[in-house]
Amino acid sequence: MLTSLNFWETVSNGRSTIPPFTMYSFSSDLPPLEPPTIMALGADSDIGGLSTSNATSIPTAAFYDDPGPSSPLSFSSDQYENSVAVATGSHGGGISPGHIGSPSAGPSRPALKRDPNLPRITGSHMSHVALHGNMSLRLPPSQMGKIRTGYVGMRNHFRPTILGGEDAWDLRQYTHIKMQIAYRGWEGWRKRWYCNVQIAGPTGPSNIDVYQLRIELPPSSASTSSRAPLDPFSGVPPRWTTLHLPLSSFVLTNMGSTSPVQVGMDTEGVRSVGFSLLGGGRDNQGLPLGQPGQYLSQKHRDLSQVEDLDPAFNASRAKRRRHRDGTMDRERGGDGHPGGMDRVSITPFSEGYYELCVRYVQAVQYDPMTDDRPSEWDVWEEEQRLAKERQSPWE
């Protein structure tokens, strides 16, 4: 019986003796399952902008009809009390109480039909968390000339210890951050996502160093020229991409800019791992570079924003390979420098819907030169994909 991604990676990947370490998972396929309330949310609306951020747990059944009574991959209702949870963070920089329950679904496309021979899922079987909302580069008239806009993000909350301090992850034995993510929404925001890592600074826990790396998300049918909002519970299913981000490639930032002195990340004290969407002035058409005003908590305001990087670092490109299930796997997620847009242009007044879908984030030992063999989990997913291709994709 398939029980967890950790199990399969440890058993089938004979190249590493160190199993993956899961920092957080929003998928029932990789327990323990976390609710979205473990994440702190932020947006430029915290300082007077117009962007919004929400985190919503999405059940697997949202994209499939007739989920069936049971599955070896499912959680019971008492293990995950609320099958759908929504958290909003449009005020205060942190996470604020949101709706817990089952929001009413809006207009949707018909759900995908599942092959009856595939494992069944229950309504409490969770697929991912969606970070979604509207990114706007516009400014209210009252804020003109006072703030710079165009950012949203989320990261895990700092974890308090019994003695009153804050816990940190020791990732010294790992080489990469592995994640499975997907993007839905306006194409203009697809290439503006970053992974942020906060570590305890050398002067104590109140000092935070922020490292950043741009992540590359491939285009899909879910990233379109339309700026209109999507329903996170329906429509085109996420096209999942597996990324391996080298810890050695993250760039140290200082108060929102690249630090002139680059120091390697001390992975012994990782406090949080998160994602940010930076939209203001980030294209190749001479627009002024935006500056995020806050990070994702009221206490720490140093959300990183990379501007200029070492040319040697910029020259290094992502190594890509395609899994048998069609997802793209990158040794690098990208680089620290903002890239150009595909088929769309950004203006000082751009706005549109974004949706970053996150299944899990792990620390792993990874060698792209040898870790090419598909795992048993990859084979299992490939069998599902082939089964779906044998039937009409939409009813």
When pLDDT is cut at 50, 70 and 90, the band that residue 367 belongs to is confident
Helices 5-12 and 376-389 pack at an angle, to 10 degrees, of 120
The answer to whether residues 275 and 154 touch, using CB atoms and an 8 Å cutoff, is yes
Collapsing DSSP states into helix, strand and coil, what is residue 348?
Answer: coil
Residue 64 β-bridge partners: 112
pLDDT at 275: 97
| List of long-range contacts for 256-262, beta carbons under 8 Å, 24+ apart | 256/291, 256/292, 256/302, 256/303, 256/304, 256/305, 257/305, 257/306, 257/307, 258/306, 258/307, 258/308, 258/309, 258/336, 262/310
Cα–Cα distance between 377 and 214 in angstroms, integer? Answer: 27
Average pLDDT over residues 108-122: 43
This prediction's pTM: 0.68
251-254 and 204-214 strand pairing: antiparallel
Q: Count the Cβ atoms, other than its own, within 10 Å of residue 3.
A: 12
Which of 156-165, 254-263, 264-273 has the highest mean predicted lDDT (pLDDT)? 264-273
State the pLDDT confidence band at 150, using cuts at 50, 70 and 90.
Answer: confident
Above 80 in pLDDT, residue 349?
A: yes
Q: What is the mean pLDDT of residues 284-298?
A: 29
Q: What span, in angstroms and rounded, lies between the C-alpha atoms of 101 and 302?
A: 33
- In the prediction, which pLDDT does 142 show? 82
The pLDDT tens digits of the residues spanning 51-98 come to 999 999 999 988 765 443 333 332 222 333 333 344 444 333 333 333
If phi over 0 gives left and psi between -120 and 50 gives alpha, with beta otherwise, what is residue 105?
beta
Of the chain, the end-to-end C-alpha distance in Å amounts to 30
Rg (CA), the chain: 20
Q: In the predicted model, is pLDDT for residue 135 greater than 70?
A: yes
**Tens of pLDDT along 191-243?**
999 999 999 876 555 678 899 999 989 888 899 899 999 999 988 899 999 99
Spatial distance between the Cα atoms of 215 and 331, rounded to a whole number of angstroms: 11
- If phi > 0 it is left, if psi is from -120 to 50 it is alpha, else beta; for residue 343 that is left
Distances, alpha carbon 29 to alpha carbons 18, 75, 130, 294, 360, in Å: 20, 9, 16, 34, 10
In this predicted structure, what is the pLDDT of residue 163?
Answer: 64
How would residue 128 be classed by pLDDT, with cut points 50, 70 and 90?
A: very high
pLDDT at 39 over 60: yes
Mean pLDDT of all residues in 291-317: 31
DSSP 276-290: EEE-TT-SSS-PPPP
Q: Residue ranges of the domains in the chain?
A: 5-389
* Residue 73 CB partners (closer than 8 Å, separation 6+): 2, 28, 29, 119, 121, 125
